[in-house]
A = this chain, B = another copy of it.
Amino acid sequence: MSHRVAVYRKEHFNAAHRLHNPEWTDKVNQKVFGKCNNPNYHGHNYELVVKVIGDPDPHTGYVMDTKLLSDLIRENVIDKFDHKNLNLDTEEFSLLNPTAENIAIVIYNILRAHIDTRLDLQVRLYETERNFVDYPV
């Protein structure tokens, strides 16, 4: 039996965004994205849950110190996206549509580069309490 444990850390950020595909007309964008296409943006309190999987270290009992995980998320993700306009203020979404799916993939890729490769990683992002995504699955 494996002794692998999943450790989760929850953080949050507040951001504005707009769903829009620049290759489409305004009419098509409005039809596909509805009120999420509002030209002047709207916003969310994003809740981010980061899951790290591995064997607990026998000396500490930690898979990963959640204080370190929290610092890492804040420095690499929260400081970049919190109180920002995702479309206008970030390089990541200057061309990529900031759907919850794409934001989760971007955050995963950012964090993956900072976490020990022996540890598995998954990201959950709540756009609202009723809409959320996991990546990868």
Contact = CB atoms under 8 A, between A and B. Distances in A.
Contacts of A34: 67
Question: Which applies to chain A's interface (DSSP): helix, strand, loop or mixed?
Answer: mixed
Q: How many copies of the polypeptide does the oligomer hold?
A: 6
Interface of A: 1-12, 14-17, 19, 21, 23-24, 32-36, 38, 40-45, 53, 56, 59-63, 65-67, 70, 82-85, 88-89, 96-102, 104-105, 128-137
A54 to B, nearest CB: 9
A78 to B, nearest CB: 11
A135 to B, nearest CB: 5
A5 B133 contact: yes
A133 B7 contact: yes
